[in-house]
């Protein structure tokens, strides 16, 4: 959790009329546009969105309310949006988690969203939104297309971190998160809680990820994990498998990676040796997990650096960043063995961070990234002062493959979204604007037409530095 987010854009004014028609991005994507402001407001200052697409093609987004503790009803919580025209336009739906009298619920940070892959008893696809809080975090869900919402605390334990969600069937949702001091050998443990939202009391069961795996990967101590993913394809031999992507130092020689580690006396999260990318796999509905090594990384790595997805044939695609480049690995046996790492930032881009993967059909994979044509670590001073006109130019770029990763096409997807240093070190980042884009964003491929929609954070508008807001692009 990063308490700096509370005041990310407090007191700032940004006209949505100006946001709504930014300079055209390169074909084949639409111009970069801001999500609309909630009713009664003139400003949309959300950030770090999560998103999912339903089988009917509806694209759902949830994004942090990035206000301050003293900014009134919009202080903390999550906005939810939906597009029913293939990502061309979005409309605001609700604030299902908001610290106000109308919709109480602990939240405001690290928002995520997922959608059930099967219809519920009402004939709709249940939408789930989760949000982190200093107190116990909240899961909210709607079984009637966002008209009404129910809520439940996620764990009953205060101070979770990163409550990320994935759905299976009409009613089941998995929530992955960190919680403190729940294992005798670990200050922070990683958990996956299974919640059945069709039962009157939202029944749940919780599993600890990473116990009894010392002989496999050298132990799991406070791993950085990404958003969980469930293989829901009827064609897949691994249907219903849950994949939780993770990264940590390569034990036993490596020191534990911490968001506040200071191995280089500069607050940089660092390992004593190389980092490693891992995947935890459950084939029994989240009761137990087996952990497999995907690849080795570098000594220094980003916070929350990994995401995962599966295609219709059950192939697993794992993407990660070391704060310099973005890479992809694939597995055809349910996550047990993996291909060699494939670098994705090539051609016109030379540095990429926070790759976000989406897959569709057999072998169609899109990886959206924050990327620039300037070489180096995204955190290095050589990237330039944040917001400076001479700083590195960051956009959303996409690496696309239609043959399962054997070849890629590189596409520019957005206008300029940030300039200068783009910090990937979490709470170790300074308050100079280098972390305005925060740590993650969303990408989905439409099951209706195969087109990509990316929803992300931006702090630029027509070349001007502005308070952070949530923007989107969609393939034409």
* Cis preceding linkage at 396, omega within 30: no
In angstroms, the CA 465 to CA 342 distance is 34
In terms of residues, how long is the chain?
476
Distance of CA 264 to the CA centre of its chain: 27
- Model pLDDT, residue 459: 97
Closest CA to 329 of 242, 407, 274, 405: 405
Per-residue DSSP letter, 416: -
Q: What is the mean pLDDT of residues 81-95?
A: 96
Lowest mean pLDDT among 249-253, 364-368, 378-382, 430-434: 249-253
Angle subtended at Cα 360 by Cα 307 and Cα 58, rounded to the nearest 5 degrees = 90
- Model pLDDT, residue 274: 81
| Of 246 and 116, the one with more pLDDT | 116
Q: Is the pLDDT of residue 153 over 90?
A: no
Q: Is the pLDDT of residue 423 over 80?
A: yes
The pairing of strands 229-230 and 224-225 is: unpaired
- Model pLDDT, residue 182: 46
In angstroms, the CA 286 to CA 208 distance is 9
> Are 60 and 54 spatial neighbours (Cβ–Cβ below 8 Å)?
yes
- In the three-class reduction of DSSP (H, G, I as helix; E, B as strand; rest coil), residue 242 is classed as strand
| Of 269 and 68, the one with more pLDDT | 269
- Looking up tokens 């694209």 gives 59
In angstroms, the CA 67 to CA 86 distance is 29
Q: What is the mean pLDDT of residues 370-395?
A: 97
Q: b/e map of 326-344 (b: 16 or more CB within 10 Å)?
A: bbbbbbbebbeebbebbeb
Closest CA to 142 of 73, 193, 95: 95
- Model pLDDT, residue 156: 63
| Of 288 and 51, the one with more pLDDT | 51
Q: Is the pLDDT of residue 95 over 70?
A: yes
Q: Is the pLDDT of residue 465 over 90?
A: yes
- Model pLDDT, residue 302: 82
In angstroms, the CA 171 to CA 198 distance is 5
Rounded percentage of the chain residues whose pLDDT exceeds 70: 78
> Residues 326-358: pLDDT tens digits?
999 999 999 999 999 999 999 999 999 999 999
- Model pLDDT, residue 183: 44
> Residues 275-323: pLDDT tens digits?
889 999 999 999 888 889 999 988 877 888 899 999 999 999 999 999 9
Q: Is the pLDDT of residue 104 over 90?
A: no
207, two tokens: 């599993």
Q: What is the mean pLDDT of residues 24-29?
A: 58
In angstroms, the CA 131 to CA 136 distance is 10
Q: Is the pLDDT of residue 105 over 90?
A: no
Q: Is the pLDDT of residue 455 over 90?
A: yes
Q: Is the pLDDT of residue 26 over 90?
A: no
Angle subtended at Cα 353 by Cα 75 and Cα 374, rounded to the nearest 5 degrees = 120
> Are 377 and 364 spatial neighbours (Cβ–Cβ below 8 Å)?
no
Q: What is the mean pLDDT of residues 222-232?
A: 87
| Of 186 and 64, the one with more pLDDT | 64
Residues 3-474, CATH architecture: 6 Propeller (2.120)
């Amino acid at each position: 959790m990063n308490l700096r987010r509370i005041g990310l854009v407090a007191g700032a004014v940004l006209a949505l009329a100006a946001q709504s028609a930014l300079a055209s991005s390169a074909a084949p994507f639409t111009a970069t546009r801001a999500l609309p402001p909630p009713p009664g407001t003139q400003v949309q200052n959300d950030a770090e969105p999560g998103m999912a697409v339903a089988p009917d093609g509806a694209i759902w987004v949830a994004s942090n309310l990035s206000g301050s503790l003293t900014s009134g009803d919009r202080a903390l919580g999550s906005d939810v949006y939906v597009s029913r025209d293939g990502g061309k336009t979005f409309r605001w739906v609700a604030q299902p988690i908001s610290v106000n009298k109308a919709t109480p619920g602990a939240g405001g940070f690290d928002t995520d969203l997922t959608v059930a892959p099967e219809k519920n008893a009402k004939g709709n696809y249940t939408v789930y939104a989760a949000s982190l809080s200093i107190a116990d975090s909240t899961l909210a869900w709607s079984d009637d297309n966002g008209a009404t919402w129910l809520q439940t605390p996620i764990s009953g334990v205060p101070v979770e971190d990163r409550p990320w969600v994935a759905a299976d069937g009409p009613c089941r949702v998995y929530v992955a998160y960190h919680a403190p001091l729940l294992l005798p050998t670990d200050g922070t443990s990683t958990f996956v809680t299974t919640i059945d939202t069709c039962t009157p009391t939202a029944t749940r069961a919780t599993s600890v990820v990473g116990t009894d795996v010392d002989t496999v990967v050298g132990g799991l101590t406070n791993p950085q994990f990404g958003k969980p993913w469930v293989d829901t394809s009827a064609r897949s031999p691994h249907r219903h498998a849950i994949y939780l992507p993770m990264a940590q130092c390569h034990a036993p020689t490596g020191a534990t990676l911490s968001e506040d580690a200071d191995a280089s006396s500069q607050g940089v999260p660092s390992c004593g040796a190389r980092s490693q990318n891992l995947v935890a796999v459950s084939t029994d509905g989240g009761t137990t997990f087996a952990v497999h090594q995907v690849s080795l990384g570098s000594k220094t790595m980003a916070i929350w650096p990994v995401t995962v997805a599966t295609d219709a044939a059950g192939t697993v695609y794992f993407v990660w960043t070391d704060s310099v480049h973005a890479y992809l690995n694939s597995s055809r046996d349910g996550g047990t063995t993996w291909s060699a790492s494939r670098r994705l930032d090539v051609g016109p881009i030379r540095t990429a961070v926070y790759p976000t993967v989406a897959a569709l059909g057999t072998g169609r994979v899109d990886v959206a990234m924050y990327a620039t044509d300037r070489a180096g670590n995204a955190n290095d001073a050589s990237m330039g002062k944040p917001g400076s006109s001479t700083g590195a130019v960051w956009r959303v770029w996409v690496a696309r493959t239609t043959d399962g990763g054997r070849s890629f096409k590189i596409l520019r997807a957005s206008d300029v979204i940030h300039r200068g240093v783009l910090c990937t070190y979490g709470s170790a980042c300074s308050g100079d604007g280098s972390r305005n884009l925060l740590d993650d964003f969303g990408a989905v491929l439409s099951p209706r037409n195969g087109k990509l929609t990316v929803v992300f954070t931006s702090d630029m508008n027509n070349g001007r530095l502005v308070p952070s807001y949530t923007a989107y692009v969609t393939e034409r």
